[in-house]
Structure 1
């Protein structure tokens, strides 16, 4: 496969999504990826997904923007879903709950009832639509899985979710999510990418 320029997927400013996931000194989160499916992607990437780069930056350090960024090389149908359409995100602060089996006993009975009445086998309270920082990962296709840091063996936390959506033009897997997990102790330990 011929090399391709990476394409921008999302850029978020800290002021719009404050949280403990920001490394010290960073105030811009950028995610770029190759716009092609990689069937045997190198770990820690998921198979049949784009190869991804996560970039933490300081807005003050960005002094030059390319007027004509290089065009990506597509090796598959343009409509496949890894060539996002330009759009803006509207930040909304929500509470994202854990997988139903992991709800603490003292959790409000009304929420437990909502889960049971809506879909006792699903995780409807963690399936907040859209792209998101943090929260709980969806497990609507498999049982919950624990990913571990390859540097310190800590359990990885969900950092960011990229959801399939017709507005953005992104289609991940079978209309699912691409999740980025990070070490809770040091994002410098790297990431784990999962398609669900």
Structure 2
């Protein structure tokens, strides 16, 4: 994945990438000038959200690079299939642990912004309404905000950098259709675009 698309208004354009370099994430935080301590021992690595990243770039400023949308997709749960085959259940939760790692870094990178344009679509039997252990993990990851609801802007808090960062976490048993995901992603990306340029 990767590429660019023209967006002629004001010399802006879109860039799609399949990874977030940790060096970029750290540099983004540094540019906010609200933090000075960083462990850069791992800055040569990257994180790779399953659905990729949409950036807003500017033709006359190579350093202008704003995150419009980060997308994850997680399928978890084969116990329904295993049960049909007469096999024992497996433990639940691996995809959520990987999601938590990426989300922690993304929230840190965007701590100084008023938005966190992140969405995760998850499906599989592990996300059924009766699998409370997995749903609890997701609820904790989303700072005890609701699942299956779109969040873009920071919430609550009482100072410039003391807000909660709920994100859009859509999870269910049934597989997500492309048009369903597109509508949600479009809303997040368009809101982020307005935040940065208006």
Q: TM-score range by the shorter chain?
A: under 0.3
Q: What TM-score comes out, normalization by structure 1 length?
A: 0.24
Which structure has greater helix proportion? Answer: 2
Q: What TM-score comes out, normalization by structure 2 length?
A: 0.24
